[in-house]
Structure 1
Amino acid sequence: MTTPPTSVPAWTVGDVRVHRVDEILLPPATGPWLLPGATPDVIAGQDWLRPHFADDDGVLRLHSHSFAFAVGGRRVLVDTGIGNGKQRANPAWHDLDTGYLGRLTAAGFPPESVDLVILTHLHADHVGWNTRKADGAWIPTFANARYVTSRTEREFWAGYDMDAPREQMFRDSVIPVERAGLLDLVEVPAGGVEIVPGLRLIPTPGHTPGHLAVELSSRGRTALITGDCVHHPVQLAHPAIGACVDIDPARSEASRRALLDSLAGTETLLLGTHFAPPTAGHVVTHEGGYRLSPVPAGSHRAHVGG
């Protein structure tokens, strides 16, 4: 059943309306596996994480979603989630059947209308809706779009000794896009690169070598989409906490610290790619680190900070 448009959360950034397109709430076991340093004691020490981002038992809440918006004359989707019907080793991702495309359409972005798909990196839970199955084959879901990721990212995986599950992910969610001629590889310098007016790719390597964050701006206002540079708000309080799947943990921490330093005390809206609702907020200093000051959907106009 198609989700009513009023149920699709969104934030206003200048003239841009950023929609969160929900896929699934990830199971409770995800937190201890993904962020092993985020122990119950660590979580308990940050009261602000409750009730939205952790429960009273110290269990982290993590979410899978995309962000859709129109900027610079393009209709943009950032990351494409896990996807339906994909064979995955992680049971939480295996053979899903969600209403993601209905929610994307309800947000005003039917698949055929999307011009640009930005992939922050090439992990299974960020590329899944790149493709859908038709007549027994995986075909691009967004047939009228250019798919963009960093050249560093694609070239790294091209030379990587993949295990069988990752090879499967590339076969069903990346290679069909390449074969259709829809994947663009972008050189992303240290200072970032504007790919359309108001839309910049920011290098945040470590989780993967070519990982990107995405910055959008409109009428003097700005927002930043984290990708997996920051998986969960607990990492604002403890930037040293990394993900078990970080390719380069030290570089991932350095990218995260630099990003949070640049946002702290500004009015830039941070949109977490895996943050459970309310998903967005401002980064503020707190007890020697940072915390997220949540901004509910529908109530924000984000300003450029200093």
Structure 2
Amino acid sequence: MSLKYAVGDLTIQRIIEQETSFVPALEMLPGLTPEILAENRAWMRQARALDDQDVLMLCFQSYVVKTPHHTILIDSCIGNDKPRPNRPKWNMKTDDTYMRALDAAGVSVDDIDFVMCTHLHVDHVGWNTRLENGRWVPTFPRARYLFAKQEYDHWFAENAKAEIPPFADSVLPVVEASRHELIGNDHQIGDHVRIVPTPGHTPGHVAIAMGRGKDDAVFSGDLMHSPVQTLYPELSIKFDVDPAKAATTRRSFLERYCDTDTLCCTAHFPSPSVGKIKRKGSAFVCAAV
């Protein structure tokens, strides 16, 4: 299983925290019918995207990308010591899996120049902070944390109505430490990093494109969770705030990167999680590289 990729002048490393069964496929994808599931069950199981009980298998991971100028962490996973009672596998976790994976990649928390979150859901912000003497502090002390302004404003307003634990323990402490920057869709880091607006899963969800002068790699976040969504781009998950918008965004994203050399680095596809988008009839596949 490959954890490291090189493309253009980028080095990309996967930092896996969990790869596990998540939610039954028919529950996670409300538009999925038993008939479509039956048609796709064999290849999905072979790809380790579906377990024997028809539960979707998902990977929860970060990507560390080294450009010639910066070291960037994309999406910070689940985190430790965080109250997540609705998800037993995430609740008050204390394992060292994530930190060991960073270490194995030759990366220390001090090496990260930027943390970029595709959106601010619980499993994409968890290691933004860690518990130190009873306080949440930024895990990556030298990093600037970049949050899409539209996404941040949405969750800030929601949190004002009723506390949203991942926002309160994994985003606001970064803001209080003055380590954050709210960015627009035109934001760039040097000549290598660009924002690709991909709304639907959340209001301000973004993908992140990297490469000098062209998109050598794109990090798709929660634009899609399972490879079955490349074959059926109209299938949105139950957690999408705007399922119709998510489906439209997904198809246009797949069209944009279809049959190009761009590496598509997905957040949740089963290992190897990274591939190139290829056309398949009127749909697509993410072919592993």
TM-score (norm 1): 0.86
Which residue pairs with 1:80 in the alignment? 76
Which residue pairs with 1:124 in the alignment? 122
Taking structure 1 as reference, are residues 202 and 134 closer, same or farther at Cα in structure 2, changes over 3 Å only? same
1:161 Cα deviation after fit: 6.0
Taking structure 1 as reference, are residues 229 and 220 closer, same or farther at Cα in structure 2, changes over 3 Å only? closer
Unaligned runs of 5+ in 2: none
Write the letter of the residue equivalent to 1:143: P
Q: Secondary structure at the match of 2:72?
A: strand
1:34 Cα deviation after fit: 3.0
Taking structure 1 as reference, are residues 252 and 137 closer, same or farther at Cα in structure 2, changes over 3 Å only? same
Counting only pairs closer than 5 Å after superposition, residues 30-109 of structure 1 correspond to structure 2 as 31-46=25-40, 48-52=43-47, 53-55=49-51, 58-88=54-84, 89-98=86-95, 99-109=97-107
Counterparts of 2:250 and 2:18 in 1: how far apart (Å)? 25
Write the letter of the residue equivalent to 1:70: K
Taking structure 1 as reference, are residues 227 and 220 closer, same or farther at Cα in structure 2, changes over 3 Å only? closer
Unaligned runs of 5+ in 1: 1-6, 296-306
Contact 2:197 2:207 in 1 (8 A): yes
Taking structure 1 as reference, are residues 8 and 280 closer, same or farther at Cα in structure 2, changes over 3 Å only? closer
Identity of aligned residues (%): 35
Render the CA deviation track for 1:31-66: whole Å, top value 9, x for unaligned: 444333345532342354341223466442211000
Contact 1:8 1:103 in 2 (8 A): no
Counterparts of 2:141 and 2:25 in 1: how far apart (Å)? 34
Counting only pairs closer than 5 Å after superposition, residues 1-306 of structure 1 correspond to structure 2 as 9-29=3-23, 31-46=25-40, 48-52=43-47, 53-55=49-51, 58-88=54-84, 89-98=86-95, 99-160=97-158, 167-189=164-186, 193-218=187-212, 222-295=216-289
Render the CA deviation track for 1:219-244: whole Å, top value 9, x for unaligned: 86611111001111111011111121
Counterparts of 2:99 and 2:2 in 1: how far apart (Å)? 12
1:127 Cα deviation after fit: 0.2
TM-score (norm 2): 0.91
Counterparts of 1:183 and 1:127 in 2: how far apart (Å)? 13
Taking structure 1 as reference, are residues 284 and 57 closer, same or farther at Cα in structure 2, changes over 3 Å only? farther
Taking structure 1 as reference, are residues 141 and 33 closer, same or farther at Cα in structure 2, changes over 3 Å only? farther
Contact 1:239 1:257 in 2 (8 A): yes
Counterparts of 2:156 and 2:131 in 1: how far apart (Å)? 24
Q: Secondary structure at the match of 1:225?
A: strand
Cα-Cα RMSD? 2.1
Counterparts of 2:277 and 2:43 in 1: how far apart (Å)? 13
Contact 1:226 1:272 in 2 (8 A): yes
Deviates more, 1:50-59 or 1:19-28: 50-59
Write the letter of the residue equivalent to 2:148: S
Contact 1:31 1:62 in 2 (8 A): no
1:160 Cα deviation after fit: 2.2
Contact 2:191 2:213 in 1 (8 A): no
Render the CA deviation track for 1:175-231: whole Å, top value 9, x for unaligned: 100000011100114xxx422321111100111111010111158661111100111
1:30 Cα deviation after fit: 5.6
Q: Considering Cα pairs closer than 8 Å and 6+ residues apart, tell me whether 1 or 2 has the greater RCO.
A: 1
1:95 Cα deviation after fit: 1.5
